[in-house]
Amino acid sequence: MQGIYTYIPDTNYVPKEYSVAAILLLLFMVLISLVSVLNLLYFYIIIIIIIIIIIIIIIIPHPSIRPGAHPASCTMGTGSLSRG
């Protein structure tokens, strides 16, 4: 019966400058990716806001238009006040 495998091979020494460079590179890559994703999300958020505004304009009628009245028949404040 063989014993427990305890041999751990040595790893190659990596200079500290390479480690710092690798960390900085990863940080800049994450930053660049984050900026591009946020720009994409910002674009979609603006599009969604514009669509919501258009839907609100279509659904909510203008207060000067009476329900059931034809828009051409509205005076929109140009009529005269008469006592009768």
Summarised one tens digit per residue, pLDDT across range 32-74 is: 888 888 888 888 999 999 999 998 888 876 666 656 655 555 5
Neighbours of 29 (CB within 10 A): 10
Range with the lowest mean pLDDT among 3-7, 25-29, 30-34, 56-60? 3-7
pTM: 0.41
Domain extent listing, the chain:
17-60
CA distances from 23 to 16, 18, 55 (A): 11, 9, 48
